[in-house]
Structure 1
């Protein structure tokens, strides 16, 4: 394609998509900062995306956490045309063709591509993008982001590449494939696994303490709200942002199609990360706890709900309680009247600290007032009203854009400083934020805010104050669900509000020993003497005729244990590498196999040392050989650790996990990618219909 044709297509693309809304109606295409709070991931702290270089660090122009304004991008940090307009149109185009909630990640990927284009070509024209530039962008992503997050950026880069192809926005045709990030294997035993599990799961003493706080008669509103929300989190595996967006009426006593006791209603649930809205049935034992928690939260949010109802009907007028309606017609008010409007709800004498609080609030909200000499203080009522209206949430009256629920119809709303002051604001409402929960449940010695465990002096076995995070409940319930062996992976994913089962394993903190013990307890050894968990001390030999009836139709003695592969169906797929094969098992108590494993480990250690020496001398091929021997030694060490662990019962079958069987297709694909890293089959794409 000629450069002028590509340039013409680029202009047509930009002109077409600039007519569409810039993600949200309040955004203008011409602006270089777009508001995405209601378009991005639910509960995200990102308010704006900026079409700038990556080294731009936005800062709020004023301290306004409710309605923050965008930062101004210096001219030298703006994207240059035509890439600037291309990036804006591409964001709009992909938001329709490939919707996502991680808009910030998508724009960051575009910025990386912008820098790679400039670095290689010195041009700002996106039609000059080639496979080399995409490869450079992919390398920058790999270098700058951890493997756990880089895959998201690589996926976005692949979507951008396919969009460029489908829209013919290139001067030269090319093909490219995003790199495949190999995920690290998760080991489910050993010291590191125990450390990780203890970090993800809650301390049982913290759960007991929360239960005591929840059932106590405490008058501390912070203790009440945090323990009530914790009760909802422990009732089913939820994300805290889902709880913070719950509607006022979430219980359904009669769920159609679900047989539950009358005391176990269903809960209306809206997953935060793409899962479908659902009704979660409650466990009967948890139903009274959930009802009590919801009742507590309704009582705590009732004052804020009355204010919400006023603003939903009178969005331009400040809320005043009936006793203060006489102030609405006044032109000027004094400190006492201002304190009554802002905080107390009644006109009374105020102390010096209360006077200082009014004065500081007026200054922070930029409300003019005079306080010179002995003259009476004069505060213009209209100025106060306008400043307070500007402090209300931008999205008022809509609380949840997914459902259209209003603030007055939501469970977790508050007056500003409701849980941080004895006298909160009486005219400003907002959401209950995650920071309130985090500071209430997490003990931080460096923080001035005390957790509820510090306030009530709850300590662990080591004498330290207890601590817990909101996500620990989700890990805990998923682990319990796996231990019961009564729910399938699909059911656990649905219960947790996930789109697929791929993330189930991340929340399952069962060790391999836990699984072995559960299976051993569930096995009736008297009826199945040929079970996978035999009693090695009292084993009986069987005849060949008996062996034919066993489920495993092949069993071969190896140096380290037994091979279960059936060679009648296919040859050995592991090329004799028994310790790296998922069809090979070791048995604790098999002295011959254990001695051979120890001997093999000694040999491997010598080979690793030899390979390391050869690598230091830059011998050809030594790097690959060193890596292979090191991986082999690691696998053998894992097997020996399990076999020698006191937690492993005698006669236990040890079978390798998390091993992918060799694939001839993967081997061939790997060899081909080394020869031609970018020459793969061109993906099939199709143009979106022009509007």
Structure 2
């Protein structure tokens, strides 16, 4: 960031002297306001906002050896004096870089500390050398499947923190050894990824059925979220940050269009997404009105606390308590919106209520209560407990949008989604991402929207769906209609259209079909093999473009067990039924895993069969030689197919065509070959 002064070492000081000065400097300019420096768990929520709203952001200075994976407990922290450096370095990293994914920096520091121990060195940053960093890289490689990010983070710490601070005897020139591996998110290449990212249609239908039939408030909240997720491709945090007044309308000709106002969280501009149909408008409007009504009391209390942060909210009919020093359990339950008063034995343990006496006034406890008196509890203790339920970030729910709790659609009564807790109508609580994901099936041991209604998959297990699968589904539908990429990016709230590729879940044949029908609206298809030569020849002979020639050659595309067939069945039946490898009209797609898998299976089968045929020929078994002459060329072609499909120089998505076989088994092919033979003989006789 511009204007930030970084700590610079003094060349005339030793590494240990520079380290001492660096630690002092880091503590003086530290941004965190809620931390206790000697502690190993830092609350950094005031500087880095958590995506989970209520949980906050925490930095954990545990070692890589810590056997516990509990957020609130560190059994084995980093050893001193390295731990002090790690805290100072992390403080400087946040001050300079303001990272969102801050945990990766702690992982890199953990690796350095562990490397020092593994090499029997003192756990001090002044002992770090290139050998220690190489050992750190090995640790990161074992810990992460793709260590490129971790390696780059370690390299950044060395370049921007360690070397400028002069805390090692000499500057470190280490570079990360991990190469960048571009992630392949295009599901034209990996069929399994397609099934993981897209939800099953039956799951969507089950959610629709639950939305129409269920009266359970947990189900209605969850399916209302789903209704908004299906309205337009949005991230879960964007939906959970919608304002109460998100509905807007616009006049188009004689029609009034209903839309929702969104604010993307990854750099996209604010946008109004209009309903694609009246049905979508009705479903979304119904969901929003339900959420508004469900959270009305909670948002009313939130509005009070925004204006009166130090005073307890009192609903209508209980304003008299403002002049009282005490409160009964029944009054307390009404004030927080609880259906039943808490047990007296739980009053202090659960709610911090301090007993101060008792009262015989019947108006202060239910008429149905047969007791002649009711216990009195300190009004101040009740007020302190309720105010303590609000986080320090209150009343701002999202820093980037500035939305307040009182205007947030998904601020609902506390515990409303919990099966084991009573709803507290007048204590507001933002709906978290984990609450929605648990309801949609990510809660392995608890109740979900599917398990409550017996909605199971083919294995008899309750169905589940991730919040991001709705976004993938809508993007895939848009891609299948060949919409403009800029329009898809705008609709999805993306800043860069290149991010669309992460949501492509269409098979290659869909892109071939788009190439054939939409002319120049889609990119050209990469082609390799005889098909490319044939299209080029056809273009030159008929004075047409290469793309037009290729479109005419692709014909009617359909999927086969072995790849893609471009034969036009409207002209002739297939001349090579189930003999695709010997057909010049058959295509493979480089990078399509199912094509490669099938080619390898066929190669293995033909290798075994041809090997057995050779043994049969040696034993003079009848018919073996003819069988061998027929299938040995197939083996050679399957070998050629596997070689082409695994060629690293051929980019993924390339259409690979095989050359026509030397001899044809079809009648037309045999007749053509015989005609060529007769013509050749006639030429020889003339000569």
Alignment partner of 1:20 is 2:9:
no
Offset at residue 326 of structure 1 (A): 2.4
Aligned to 1:136: 135
Change beyond 3 A, Cα 1:244–1:603? closer
Note if contact 1:267-1:281 (Cα within 8 Å) is conserved in structure 2.
Answer: yes
Q: How does 1:190-589 map to 2 (within 5 A)?
A: 193-214=190-211, 216=212, 219-253=215-249, 262-265=256-259, 267-271=261-265, 274-285=266-277, 286-344=280-338, 354=340, 359-360=345-346, 362-369=348-355, 377-420=375-418, 424-442=423-441, 447-451=445-449, 453-456=450-453, 458=455, 466-488=463-485, 491-498=487-494, 500=496, 503-520=499-516, 522=518, 546=541, 550-551=545-546, 589=583
Which piece of structure 1 moves more, 435-444 or 322-331?
A: 435-444
Note if contact 1:297-1:411 (Cα within 8 Å) is conserved in structure 2.
Answer: yes
**How many Å separate the matches in 2 of 1:478 and 1:513?**
18
Aligned to 1:145: 144
Offset at residue 243 of structure 1 (A): 1.4
Which piece of structure 1 moves more, 390-399 or 496-505?
A: 496-505
Aligned to 1:67: none
Change beyond 3 A, Cα 1:146–1:379? same
Note if contact 2:329-2:375 (Cα within 8 Å) is conserved in structure 1.
Answer: yes
Offset at residue 429 of structure 1 (A): 1.9
Note if contact 2:301-2:426 (Cα within 8 Å) is conserved in structure 1.
Answer: yes
Aligned to 2:101: 102
Aligned to 1:86: 85
Structure 2: give runs of 5+ residues left out of the alignment: 1-9, 359-370, 551-579, 589-598, 612-636, 655-687
Note if contact 1:304-1:429 (Cα within 8 Å) is conserved in structure 2.
Answer: yes
SS in 2 for 1:143: helix
Which piece of structure 1 moves more, 179-188 or 83-92?
A: 179-188
SS in 1 for 2:392: coil
SS in 1 for 2:546: coil
Offset at residue 481 of structure 1 (A): 2.5
**How many Å separate the matches in 2 of 1:599 and 1:344?**
64
Change beyond 3 A, Cα 1:225–1:552? closer
Offset at residue 308 of structure 1 (A): 0.5
Which piece of structure 1 moves more, 222-231 or 361-370?
A: 361-370
Offset at residue 413 of structure 1 (A): 0.6
Offset at residue 462 of structure 1 (A): 7.7
Alignment partner of 1:175 is 2:173:
yes
Change beyond 3 A, Cα 1:506–1:600? same
Change beyond 3 A, Cα 1:49–1:334? same
Q: TM-score, normalised by structure 1?
A: 0.67
Change beyond 3 A, Cα 1:599–1:475? closer
Which piece of structure 1 moves more, 495-504 or 324-333?
A: 495-504
Change beyond 3 A, Cα 1:145–1:633? farther
Please say which structure displays the higher CA radius of gyration: 2
Offset at residue 470 of structure 1 (A): 1.4
Note if contact 1:263-1:288 (Cα within 8 Å) is conserved in structure 2.
Answer: no
Offset at residue 509 of structure 1 (A): 1.5
Note if contact 2:441-2:465 (Cα within 8 Å) is conserved in structure 1.
Answer: yes
**How many Å separate the matches in 1 of 2:356 and 2:405?**
36
Aligned to 2:576: none
Offset at residue 599 of structure 1 (A): 13
Q: How does 1:590-669 map to 2 (within 5 A)?
A: 590=584, 601=603, 636-637=641-642, 657=652
Change beyond 3 A, Cα 1:197–1:2? same
SS in 2 for 1:225: helix
Change beyond 3 A, Cα 1:593–1:472? closer
Offset at residue 158 of structure 1 (A): 2.1
Offset at residue 197 of structure 1 (A): 2.3
Structure 1: give runs of 5+ residues left out of the alignment: 61-69, 346-353, 525-529, 556-585, 610-631, 642-654, 660-691
Aligned to 1:620: none
**How many Å separate the matches in 1 of 2:202 and 2:587?**
43
CA-based RMSD of the aligned residues comes to: 4.8
**How many Å separate the matches in 2 of 1:218 and 1:115?**
53
Note if contact 1:342-1:426 (Cα within 8 Å) is conserved in structure 2.
Answer: yes
**How many Å separate the matches in 2 of 1:56 and 1:267?**
46
Note if contact 1:226-1:440 (Cα within 8 Å) is conserved in structure 2.
Answer: yes
Change beyond 3 A, Cα 1:56–1:3? farther
SS in 1 for 2:377: strand
Aligned to 1:576: none
SS in 1 for 2:388: helix
What whole-Å deviation, never above 9, does each CA across 1:294-350 have from its counterpart, x for those lacking one?
2222222111111101212222222221312223443444443333334348xxxxx
Change beyond 3 A, Cα 1:180–1:293? same
What whole-Å deviation, never above 9, does each CA across 1:600-637 have from its counterpart, x for those lacking one?
9469979xx9xxxxxxxxxxxxxxxxxxxxxx999945
Note if contact 1:87-1:110 (Cα within 8 Å) is conserved in structure 2.
Answer: yes
**How many Å separate the matches in 2 of 1:593 and 1:177?**
44
**How many Å separate the matches in 1 of 2:604 and 2:351?**
73
Note if contact 2:539-2:549 (Cα within 8 Å) is conserved in structure 1.
Answer: no
Note if contact 1:52-1:79 (Cα within 8 Å) is conserved in structure 2.
Answer: no
**How many Å separate the matches in 2 of 1:634 and 1:498?**
44
SS in 2 for 1:310: helix
